[in-house]
C-alpha cells in the first residue's frame, strides 16, 4: 500500500478545539484521524479508519482462534426483547428508544444480550449443539449524559461483543476462561499495558463473576489497585480490605462514660483532643438505601467506600440520609456527634466494618450535641449487626493475596467479561434438552471489547509532546517517506523508488509528496506518529537517505540498497 499525502483526504490541525480535554482526543483530531460530527459522534477519516481496521483484525483473529464464530446482527432491536428481561426499564436513560412509522417500539443496541439469546433460543434444541460462542464487531449506541474525551466516551462507538452458551456452570466457566485468555492475547498484541481486575457486574448483570481489562492511563475514569508481587488486581470498589493492625490502646477510650467535647466535630480532631489514636473514634455514617435508613460504622482512620456498601446491599447506589430525616431520627444530635447506640431500635440497619469488631473498646458519638461516649464494647454493641468489608483500599495497603504493598493507578476500561448464568436465558425461555431429555436453561457469558476506545487508549499510553507514537501493530502505516524538496528531481525520483520498493516488499507506506515546506512535513510526521520515517533530502544524489525511529528518534543514514533489509529488522523488533 502507498498513500500519497498530495491526494489523500488528509489535513492536520495546528490547534485542537478547546473542549478536547483528553490527550488522545486532541492528538487524534489534530493528526487528521477523526472529525467530530456532534457531541460523542465521530467520523473516522482514511488514516483513522486504517487504525480501527487493524485493531479489528487482531480481535477477529484471536476470537476465531478461540473457537468463536462471527455473525452480524442489526443495531436496531425490537423493544419487545428488552421487555422480556425487564431491561427496557432497568437500563435507564442511556438506552436510546425510538419508534418506527407503525408506532412499534425499538431500541438502538447498547449491547446485545437479548438479541443473541433470542437468536440462539430459536436454533438450539439439544445439548449436542452446545457449547457455542458467537461474536460480532459492530456499532453500539449509548446516550451518554456527557460524552467526552473523544473516542474514550462517545455515544456511538465500535465494539466487539461475544456471547457464549453452555449446558451448565462448568461449561460456562470453560467458555469464560477461553475468552479471558483470548483477551490477554489481544491486549498483548496491541501493545497495550492492561491489567485484568475483578469488577462489579453493573447493568449487564449476572452473579457468576466478572473481570474488566484496564489500560493503565492517568485519564482513566476507573481507579484500580494492583500487586506487583502477585497477579492480584481489582477495581477500588471491589478491592478486598485486609485487617488493619490494632494501634496502641488508651485508658481514655476504655473508661465507660460521657465526655464533653463541644465544637470538635471531626474524628481526627476529637482523637487528638482526647489523646487517643484516631482508630478508636468511630465514624457513624447515615445513608439511605431503597428508602431505608442504614448506618455504616468504621474506624476513625478508615474511609467508607460507598460502592462496596451499595454492592453488599444489592442496590445501585446509596445516598446520604437527608438532614431532615437525620433530625427526625436523632433530634438532639448534630454533625460530628452521631453514634450507633439506639439506632437499630429505630429501625436503622447497622453495617459494621470488621476492623471495628477487632477493637476491644471504642469512642463514638452520643447522639447529643457536644458529647462523645467512651468505653463502647463493639462485640457487645454490634452483636446483631451485619459485618461487612466497607473500607476504601489505598496504595500501600497490603495485598489480600500475598501481603505485599498494593499500587494504585487509573485505568481505561477496554474490555469486560461476565459470567451471566441464566440471567437472560431464564426469563427469555432459552432452553435445551439434556441427555436425559430434561429441559434446562442455557448458561451464558458475555464478553465486550471497545474497539474504537482501544485506539484512543493506545494514544493515551503512547505519545510525546510532538504527537502520537503508534506501535507497529496498529499504526496506520509502517513507513512514512518524506520528500524534503519536491522541486528537486533526484529527491522526487528516489522517494518514489523507495516507496515502491518498500510497498513491493509488503510494507505499508505513506509518502509525503506535498508541495510544502520541510518543516511542515516533519511536524506532521511527528504528529501522525508512523513508527519509521525515511527522509529523502540533500544526499539523495549520493544514494543516501535518513531513517529515523519515531519511538526514540534514533536516526541513521543509509544507502538506498540497505533500506529493505534494515526495515525488515526494525519491523521484527516491533518498533
Choices 84-92, 119-127, 231-239, 426-434; region in contact with Zn ion by CB under 5 A = 231-239
CB of 496 closer than 8 Å to CB of 458: no
Compute the distance between CA of residue 391 and CA of residue 549 in angstroms, rounded to an integer. Answer: 47
Compute the distance between CA of residue 189 and CA of residue 186 in angstroms, rounded to an integer. Answer: 5
**Which of 1, 203, 230, 520: binder of Zn ion (CB under 5 A)?**
230
Compute the distance between CA of residue 267 and CA of residue 281 in angstroms, rounded to an integer. Answer: 6
Choices 223-231, 419-427, 482-490, 517-525; region in contact with Zn ion by CB under 5 A = 223-231
Strand partners for 545: 558
* Widest distance between CA atoms in the chain: 96
> Which of 203, 402 has the CB closer to Zn ion?
402
The terminus-to-terminus CA distance of the chain in angstroms comes to 19
Alpha helices in 275-368, H assignment, sequence order: 306-313, 323-329, 354-357
> Which of 64, 231 has the CB closer to Zn ion?
231
Cβ at position 302, least distance to Zn ion in Å: 21
Around Cβ 132, how many Cβ atoms within 10 Å? 17
> Which of 36, 401 has the CB closer to Zn ion?
401
Pick out residues in 481-540 that bind Zn ion (CB under 5 A).
Answer: none
Check residue 229 for interaction with Zn ion (CB under 5 A). yes
Cβ at position 440, least distance to Zn ion in Å: 39
Q: Which three cell numbers stand for residue 65?
A: 482462534
Cβ at position 223, least distance to Zn ion in Å: 18
Draw the binding track, 366-405, toward Zn ion (x: CB under 5 A; -: no contact).
---------------------------------x-xx-x-
> Which of 141, 232 has the CB closer to Zn ion?
232
Cβ at position 398, least distance to Zn ion in Å: 8
Cβ at position 194, least distance to Zn ion in Å: 18
Pick out residues in 128-187 that bind Zn ion (CB under 5 A).
Answer: none
Check residue 234 for interaction with Zn ion (CB under 5 A). no
> Which of 227, 352 has the CB closer to Zn ion?
227
**Which of 232, 287, 432, 443: binder of Zn ion (CB under 5 A)?**
232
Compute the distance between CA of residue 481 and CA of residue 461 in angstroms, rounded to an integer. Answer: 25
The SS3 assignment for 178 reads helix
> Which of 76, 402 has the CB closer to Zn ion?
402
Cβ at position 195, least distance to Zn ion in Å: 12
Q: Which three cell numbers stand for residue 337?
A: 456527634
Cβ at position 309, least distance to Zn ion in Å: 25
Alpha-carbon torsion (422, 425, 429, 430), positive or negative: negative
Compute the distance between CA of residue 430 and CA of residue 450 in angstroms, rounded to an integer. Answer: 27
Compute the distance between CA of residue 368 and CA of residue 434 in angstroms, rounded to an integer. Answer: 64
> Which of 108, 399 has the CB closer to Zn ion?
399
> Which of 37, 230 has the CB closer to Zn ion?
230
Cβ at position 401, least distance to Zn ion in Å: 4
292-298 and 349-352 strand pairing: parallel
Check residue 364 for interaction with Zn ion (CB under 5 A). no
Cβ at position 267, least distance to Zn ion in Å: 30
Distances (CA, A) of 444 to 133, 162, 204, 404, 526: 9, 10, 12, 36, 46
> Which of 316, 404 has the CB closer to Zn ion?
404
283-289 and 319-320 strand pairing: antiparallel
**Which of 216, 219, 227, 295: binder of Zn ion (CB under 5 A)?**
227
> Which of 37, 404 has the CB closer to Zn ion?
404
Alpha-carbon torsion (94, 95, 100, 105), positive or negative: negative
Choices 229-237, 280-288, 369-377, 561-569; region in contact with Zn ion by CB under 5 A = 229-237
Compute the distance between CA of residue 446 and CA of residue 467 in angstroms, rounded to an integer. Answer: 36
Query: Residues 6 or more apart from 495 whose CB is under 8 A from it?
Result: 481, 482, 483, 511, 513, 536, 540
Cβ at position 384, least distance to Zn ion in Å: 35
Give the footprint of Zn ion on this chain (CB under 5 A). 227, 229-230, 232, 399, 401-402, 404
Amino acid at each position: 500500500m502507498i498513500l500519497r499525502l498530495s491526494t489523500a483526504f488528509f489535513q492536520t490541525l495546528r490547534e485542537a478545539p478547546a473542549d478536547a480535554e483528553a490527550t488522545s482526543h486532541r492528538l487524534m483530531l489534530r493528526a487528521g484521524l477523526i472529525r467530530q460530527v456532534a457531541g460523542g459522534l465521530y467520523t473516522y477519516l482514511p488514516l483513522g479508519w486504517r487504525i480501527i481496521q487493524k485493531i479489528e483484525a487482531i480481535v477477529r483473529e484471536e476470537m476465531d482462534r478461540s473457537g468463536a464464530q462471527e455473525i452480524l446482527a442489526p443495531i436496531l432491536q425490537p423493544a419487545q426483547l428488552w421487555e422480556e428481561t425487564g431491561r427496557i426499564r432497568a437500563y435507564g436513560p442511556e438506552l436510546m428508544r425510538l419508534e418506527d412509522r407503525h408506532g412499534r417500539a425499538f431500541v438502538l443496541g447498547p449491547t446485545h444480550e437479548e438479541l443473541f439469546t433470542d437468536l440462539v433460543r430459536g436454533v438450539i434444541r439439544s445439548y449436542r449443539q452446545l457449547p457455542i460462542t458467537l461474536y460480532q464487531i459492530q456499532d453500539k449506541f449509548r446516550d451518554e449524559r456527557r460524552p467526552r474525551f473523544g473516542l474514550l466516551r462517545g455515544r456511538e462507538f465500535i465494539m466487539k461483543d461475544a456471547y457464549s452458551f453452555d449446558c451448565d456452570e462448568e461449561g460456562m466457566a470453560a467458555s469464560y476462561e477461553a475468552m479471558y485468555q483470548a483477551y490477554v492475547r489481544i491486549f498483548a498484541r496491541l501493545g497495550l499495558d492492561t491489567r485484568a481486575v475483578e469488577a462489579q457486574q453493573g447493568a449487564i448483570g449476572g452473579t457468576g463473576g466478572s473481570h474488566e481489562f484496564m489500560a493503565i492511563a492517568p485519564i482513566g475514569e476507573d481507579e484500580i489497585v494492583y500487586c506487583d508481587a502477585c497477579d492480584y488486581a481489582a477495581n477500588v470498589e471491589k478491592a478486598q480490605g485486609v485487617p488493619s493492625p490494632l494501634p496502641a490502646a488508651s485508658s481514655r477510650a476504655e473508661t465507660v462514660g460521657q465526655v464533653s467535647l463541644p465544637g470538635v466535630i471531626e474524628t481526627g480532631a476529637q482523637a487528638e483532643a482526647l489523646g487517643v489514636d484516631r482508630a478508636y473514634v468511630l465514624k457513624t455514617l447515615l445513608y439511605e438505601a431503597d428508602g431505608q435508613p442504614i448506618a455504616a460504622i468504621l474506624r476513625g482512620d478508615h474511609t467508607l467506600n460507598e460502592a462496596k456498601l451499595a454492592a453488599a446491599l444489592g442496590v445501585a447506589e446509596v445516598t446520604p440520609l437527608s438532614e431532615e430525616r437525620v433530625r427526625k431520627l436523632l433530634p438532639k444530635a448534630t454533625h460530628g456527634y452521631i453514634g450507633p447506640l439506639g439506632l437499630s431500635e429505630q429501625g436503622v440497619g447497622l453495617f459494621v466494618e470488621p476492623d471495628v469488631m477487632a477493637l476491644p473498646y471504642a469512642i463514638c458519638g452520643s447522639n447529643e450535641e457536644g458529647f462523645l461516649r467512651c468505653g463502647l464494647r463493639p462485640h457487645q454493641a454490634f452483636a446483631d449487626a451485619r459485618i461487612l468489608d466497607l473500607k476504601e483500599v489505598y496504595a500501600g495497603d497490603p495485598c489480600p493475596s500475598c501481603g505485599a504493598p498494593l499500587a494504585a493507578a487509573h485505568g481505561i476500561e477496554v474490555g469486560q467479561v461476565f459470567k451471566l448464568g441464566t440471567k437472560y436465558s431464564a426469563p427469555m425461555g432459552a432452553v435445551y434438552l439434556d441427555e436425559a431429555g430434561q429441559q434446562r436453561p442455557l448458561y451464558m457469558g458475555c464478553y465486550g471489547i471497545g474497539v474504537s476506545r482501544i485506539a484512543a487508549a493506545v494514544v493515551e499510553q503512547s505519545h510525546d509532546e510532538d504527537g502520537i507514537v503508534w506501535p507497529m501493530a496498529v499504526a496506520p502505516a509502517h513507513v512514512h517517506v518524506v520528500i524534503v524538496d519536491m522541486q528537486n528531481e533526484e529527491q522526487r525520483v528516489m522517494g518514489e523508488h523507495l516507496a515502491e520498493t518498500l510497498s513491493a516488499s509488503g510494507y505499508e507506506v505513506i509518502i509525503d509528496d506535498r508541495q510544502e515546506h520541510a518543516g511542515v512535513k516533519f511536524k506532521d510526521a511527528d504528529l501522525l506518529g508512523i513508527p519509521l520515517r525515511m527522509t529523502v533530502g540533500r544526499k539523495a544524489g549520493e544514494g543516501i537517505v535518513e531513517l529515523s525511529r519515531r519511538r526514540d528518534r534514533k536516526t541513521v543514514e543509509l544507502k538506498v540498497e540497505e533500506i529493505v533489509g534494515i526495515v525488515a529488522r526494525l519491523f521484527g523488533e516491533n518498533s
